Structure 1
């Protein structure tokens, strides 16, 4: 899209992989530098999109909210919807901004709830912990990325594919609310989400808010390390379901 700035999930929106997972949360100073080079100012309205299922865009949405920047949205349908609408595209890439031309956003980490493994396990027992991965991975029938197959005991499967339509656009708030209510998620119970590495689960956190089950003031929690961290810690694994 003309004027859009590319940010890389692996090198700019995540810390290096390790015990903390495949996509740990980035260092706040690093994230601030990335956002400033992209021109994000304290009062900027940021719109994120990707060329896939919207999960990486949702990660940007979540990170900015976590960093204390609330003016952020995700382009419904992503780049595919933009192209389908016949809107202009370009191969030109804006140069990183420096000096006075750069943004002045200040990253204030911790503005969104984050779970560690112990807290995720407790939420699965006492609240609702949603697993955003494909059903086959949740059940332990296959595991193409991480060393163990299965899910966190007590977690419920809510694949990200379930909150978008065939055209890649998000379902309406009422449809999302019905879907999540069927999994026991409501405003009266603590809710959190995880996936393989904390990326696609960001989309579930966002979908819960769109559905009205959570809110900007009381968002769902994200297990940022997700299954990759759970496996690294050699914790109990459940299968089936």
Structure 2
């Protein structure tokens, strides 16, 4: 697992359902390597969101092991899992979920503060990310003054702020038109590849899959194919 950022080993997730058991995921095995961007597709109810939640240490598996940077997530206490999420995982959701009373740069600095990053380092990294995204001129603007595409780019910058090993994106382009969606995913793919991070993206838009290195097809809680 030397090159692996994320590894699923025979992972299953189920819930009690009356006298029965509801199997959400079964026998999930895959590895996400450094610099790799994987797309996760499948019909509604296939288990995509559950898989992403497991990868983000938001849920624990019923069976199997999940490793992030060689660390078994199941071996960590809830407090340690919270610290792991803050330092090693960046989350991007369908909606940007920006804090309305913080301006663009403050959105990034707030995350860095939670992580305990020194102010000077945080300022430098925030400026660097905003420059890469072409949003330096928007640094003092508040969310209600930004377009949908700008808001989502800020959400991506926020996810990258603590230099995480793993990026988890759940339908990050669902609220964007094709042009903005393409720009956002292309930039994310480039950053993941260049910086040796790993990214797992759930999407229903097959046009975005051209930016992925591999695609995992989920169906009925199982991996049907990896291409």
Higher helix share: 2
Specify which structure has the bigger relative contact order, considering alpha-carbon pairs within 8 angstroms and separated by 6 or more residues: 2
TM-score by length of 2: 0.30
TM-score by length of 1: 0.29
